[in-house]
Amino acid sequence: MRYSIIGTGGIGGYYGGRLAQAGNDVHFLLHSDYEYVKEHGLTVDSVNGDFYLPAPQVYREADELPLSDVVLVCLKTTNNHLIPELLKTAADAHTVVILIQNGIGVEEDVQGMLPGIQLVAGLAFICTAKAGPGHINHQCYGQINLGNYSCKDGALLSRIADDFTNAGIPAHIVEYKEARWKKAVWNMPFNGMTVALNTQTDLLLKNPATRQLIREQMMEIVGAARALGVNGVDEDFVEKMIAMTDKMTPYSPSMKLDYDFQRPMEIRYIYSRPLAIARAAGAPMHKLEMLEAELKFLGEYIK
Amino acid sequence: MRYSIIGTGGIGGYYGGRLAQAGNDVHFLLHSDYEYVKEHGLTVDSVNGDFYLPAPQVYREADELPLSDVVLVCLKTTNNHLIPELLKTAADAHTVVILIQNGIGVEEDVQGMLPGIQLVAGLAFICTAKAGPGHINHQCYGQINLGNYSCKDGALLSRIADDFTNAGIPAHIVEYKEARWKKAVWNMPFNGMTVALNTQTDLLLKNPATRQLIREQMMEIVGAARALGVNGVDEDFVEKMIAMTDKMTPYSPSMKLDYDFQRPMEIRYIYSRPLAIARAAGAPMHKLEMLEAELKFLGEYIK
């Protein structure tokens, strides 16, 4: 199968690299690293085994990408206005476009821009980052969950999950809404709170006041999910997320890295959209609303 | 009348100084500045006219203070555990003790330590600070509201208000609970939010997201006051507080100054006590609870 990777950072570079290493036909869209990767290839340091692609198929312009069976969109959501332009040649009505992105409401908005496209949510459980030009560092986990938003070709989606799994990326097809809201249970408290208090996950859970606050924020999401009829987002899941985070090494979520490097934060999809959806469903998430306001204030000072 | 001033900082120095300047018998308890003021007197720079007291009656130890008609307690509430010791000789059952302090629950706790004492809440509307040893800088406003908590001698309380007014300090006797909760409408949002976002009042009101948040936090207090049957704390008052703050020069509330100078913050009486009272009354203040948690986190790192 033919894959195109839009955005070859930590996620796109790792997943695309694994798929190429396993023998799939993978095409990478690159921006600043194009020249480097063209000349030196793509190096991946991974807890699951390092590997090197000497001559990956790389492109500088989106309209050079070939029509593909699958497109992995691995952009920050702050660039989502570019998606129609970036998918112009790579995707048609038969392509499955997987948005490996944070937040809630992404598929709805992309579908609004591209009504004819088949969309799948990609929920990545992975620690991976670009270490340098053409150099990806994959530190932990790696699983991807696929939530079907508007893909009519179930057989193709199953083949994609198999390709991932055969490439060493555990992949599961999950219920779309459940997957997005479950991810929000971790993402909404930790992304923003590490920015608001300039800290990492471990210290938030060490202080009794913020540990309690994180739990209350997670319970706000449980309340919203209940009002929305989303399954699987309950108090047990909250306790599981806290226990999991307790075991993690001190961690800076993506929004904390964005803020520290003065890049735009993904406030719209990690906060504004789910907060508005919850409020409209009669289950406002008060503490997370306050966090959104604090992030908007802090974000104003990013150059 | 004889006045003792416990804590000769910005507030105690200014109010005590004005009362002494007007001819009252005023006794100042001093700590680090005792030697300096003993030798050089007390200098007050004030928008209402500068003045100088060449030989104020000063004391280094609380048990040297004479029994007084009125004691003004001008300490940070973080030192309130010292109050029984500090009032030992200055106050008896006939003395009116005025707690010029921030927050809610102060009188209840001090009364618990000293059941025999007559307590009045002092709500100071003033910008004043210690500029150096024996040197007070009074920048704006100056009014004091007196809320009767347990003073049985109404005539004495009226005389005190008259003494203040005659000394150039506009003073009004107000309803205790209304006064404390009204002050909370401004204090709770602005003290903590300037710390949490490392900013000043003007920028909080300039950003649309935090302007809205400040209003919502104030409305949480309106909800709590309603549940508690406290009068005068309504939406109109909220709009008045926001309009007033819009007109102020950029301002750092006392908690922001405490945090910047790495002094303990008055979290207990500005947040924890009113939050617990509101929650017990069935009107939890969600966003202000989150602010309390953030302040407890930040306060942990004060040496």
* Residues of B whose CB is below 8 A from A290: 213, 216, 286-287, 290-291
How many degrees, rounded to 5, is the angle at CA B189 between CA B187 and CA B193?
115
* CA-CA-CA-CA torsion sign (B5, B10, B13, B18): negative
Question: Do B66 and B152 belong together in one domain?
Answer: yes
Which among B177, B182, B183, B256 is annotated as catalytic? B183
Closest CA to B167 of B25, B19, B10, B39: B19
Q: Do the Cβ atoms of B173 and B161 come closer than 8 Å?
A: yes
Compute the distance between CA of residue B195 and CA of residue B267 in angstroms, rounded to an integer: 12
Spell out which residues of chain B touch residue A197, defining contact as CB-CB under 8 Å. 294, 297-298
Digit-coded pLDDT (tens) for B260-301:
999 999 999 999 999 999 999 999 999 999 999 999 999 999
**CA gap B273, B105 in Å, rounded:** 6
Same-domain check for residues A76 and A207: no
Phi-psi region of B129 (alpha: psi -120 to 50; beta: other; left: phi over 0): beta
Regarding whether B276 and B190 lie in a shared domain, the answer is yes
Which among A209, A216, A287 is the nearest to B297, CB-wise?
A: A209
pLDDT digits (tens, 9 = 90+) for B70-104: 999 999 999 999 999 999 999 999 999 999 999 99
- Evaluate if residue B134 carries a pLDDT over 80: yes
**Cβ–Cβ below 8 Å for B290 and A199:** no
The pLDDT score that the predictor gives to residue A169 is 98
Q: DSSP letters along A106-153, please?
A: HHHHHHHH-TTSEEEEEEEEEEEEEEETTEEEEEEEEEEEEEESS---
Q: Containing H/E element for B3?
A: strand B2-6
Average pLDDT, chain B: 97
My answer on whether B151 and B235 are in the same domain is no
pLDDT, tens digit (0-9, with 9 covering 90-100), for A264-301: 999 999 999 999 999 999 999 999 999 999 999 999 99
Cβ(A233)–Cβ(A270) below 8 Å: no
Q: What percent of chain A lies above the pLDDT cut of 70?
A: 100
Task: Report d(CA A184, CA A178) in Å as an integer.
Answer: 10
pLDDT digit string, tens, across residues B97-123: 999 999 999 999 999 999 999 999 999
Residue B271: which of B285, B260, B250, B252 has the closest Cα?
B285
pLDDT of the residue at B255? 97
Token output for B33:
């500045």
Q: Among all residues of chain A, which has the CA nearest to that of B216?
A: A290
DSSP-assigned letter for residue B81: G
- What pLDDT score does B303 carry? 72
In this structure, what CATH number is given to the domain that contains residue B90? 3.40.50.720
Looking at the fold, whether B183 and B168 belong to one and the same domain comes out as no
Position B277 scores a pLDDT of: 98
Known active-site residue A130: no
Least CB-CB distance to B286: which of A204, A286, A296? A286
Give every CB contact of residue A164 below 8 A, 6+ residues apart in sequence.
A15, A19, A144, A170, A171
Mean pLDDT confidence for A243-266 = 95
Distance CA B35, CA B26 (A): 18
Torsional sign, CA A96, A99, A104, A110: negative
Find the largest Cα–Cα distance for chain A: 55
Looking at the complex, report in whole angstroms how far the Cα of residue A287 sits from the nearest Cα belonging to chain B.
5
Contact A296 B210 (CB under 8 A): yes
Which residue in chain A has the smallest CA separation from B211?
A293
- d(CA B113, CA B293) in angstroms, rounded, equals 27
Q: Strand, coil or helix: what is B95?
A: coil
DSSP states along B50-92: -EEESS-EEESSGGGSPP-SEEEE---GGGGGGHHHHTTTT--
Whether B109 and B246 map to the same domain: the answer is: no
CA closest to A285 among chain B residues: B286
pLDDT digits (tens, 9 = 90+) for B215-244: 999 999 999 999 999 999 999 999 999 999
Does the pLDDT of residue A303 top 80, yes or no? no
Q: Please give the Cα distance from B256 to B192 (Å, whole number).
A: 7
Query: In terms of residue numbers, what domain contains A101?
Result: 2-174
pLDDT at A201 over 80: yes
Residues in B closer than 8 angstroms to A209, CB to CB, are 292-293, 296-297
- Exposure string for A33-61, b = 16+ CB within 10 A, e = fewer: bbebbeeeebbbbbeeeebebeebebbee
CB A202 within 8 A of CB A251: yes
Same domain, A155 and A183: no
Q: Percent of chain B having pLDDT more than 90? A: 97
Verify that A164 and A192 share a domain, yes or no.
no
Considering only the beta carbons, identify the residue of A216, A286, A297 that sits closest to B210.
A297
**In chain B, what's the furthest Cα-to-Cα distance?**
55
Contact list, B199 vs chain A (CB under 8 Å)? 297
A74 and A209 assigned to the same domain: no
Q: What is the pLDDT of residue B299?
A: 97
Give residue B207's pLDDT.
98
Asked whether B147 and B123 are in contact (CB, 8 A), the reply is yes
CATH code for the domain in which residue B254 is found: 1.10.1040.10
Contacts of B210 in chain A (CB under 8 A): 293-294, 296-297
pLDDT digits (tens, 9 = 90+) for A223-239: 999 999 999 999 999 99
The answer to whether B147 and B179 have CB atoms below 8 angstroms apart is yes
* Residue A19 φ/ψ region, left for φ over 0, alpha for ψ in the -120 to 50 degree band, beta for the rest: alpha
Task: Considering only the beta carbons, identify the residue of B199, B213, B293 that sits closest to A209.
Answer: B293
pLDDT band at B142 (very low <50, low <70, confident <90, very high): very high
- pLDDT, residue B188, reads 98
What whole-number distance in Å separates Cα of residue A105 and Cα of residue A277? 9
Rounded to a whole number of angstroms, the distance from the CA of B134 to the nearest CA of chain A is: 37
Identify the weakest region by mean pLDDT among A146-155, A222-231, B124-133. B124-133
Going B152 to B153 to B155 to B160, the CA torsion angle's sign is: negative
3-state DSSP helix/strand/coil percent for chain B, to nearest 5?
50, 20, 30
Report yes or no: A288 and A271 within 8 Å, Cβ to Cβ: yes
Beta strands B2-6 and B135-148: pairing type?
unpaired
For residue B2, the model assigns a pLDDT of 98
Q: Do A294 and B210 touch (CB under 8 A)?
A: yes
Which of B119, B154, B174 is a domain's end point? B174
Given the residues A183, A206, A240, A303, select the one marked as catalytic.
Answer: A183
DSSP A272: I
Phi, psi of B242 (to 5 degrees): -70, -45
Q: Give the pLDDT confidence of A81-128 residue by residue, as tens digits.
A: 999 999 999 999 999 999 999 999 999 999 999 999 999 999 999 989
Give percent of chain B above pLDDT 70.
Answer: 100
Q: How far is B259 from chain A (nearest CA, A)?
A: 14
Interface with A, mutate which of B202, B297, B298, B301 (most A CBs under 10 A): B297
Answer yes or no: do B152 and B14 share one domain: yes
B185 CA: distance to closest CA in chain A (Å): 17
In the three-class reduction of DSSP (H, G, I as helix; E, B as strand; rest coil), residue A50 is classed as coil
Question: Do you know the residue count of chain A?
Answer: 303
Instruction: Report d(CA B280, CA B231) in Å as an integer.
Output: 18
Bridge partners of B97, per DSSP, are: B71, B119
The last residue of one of the domains, among B110, B143, B174, is: B174
Of A207, A291, A294, the CB nearest to B300: A207
Q: Which tens digit of pLDDT belongs to each residue from B146-162? A: 999 999 999 999 999 99
- Mean pLDDT for all residues in chain A: 97
| 3-state SS class at B37 | helix
A73 and A112 assigned to the same domain: yes
Give mean pLDDT, residues B141-149: 97
Angle at B301 between CA B299 and CA B303, to 5 degrees: 100
- Out of B158, B174, B190, pick the residue that ends a domain: B174
What is the count of structural domains for chain A? Answer: 2
Backbone angles phi, psi at B124, to 5 degrees: -95, 125
Chain-chain contact of A199 with B293 (C-beta, under 8 angstroms):
no
Neighbours of A124 (CB within 10 A): 21
Judging contacts by C-beta atoms under 8 Å, the chain B residues touching residue A293 are 209-210, 212-213
Rounded CA separation A5/A297 (Å): 34
Same domain, yes or no: A156 and A213: no
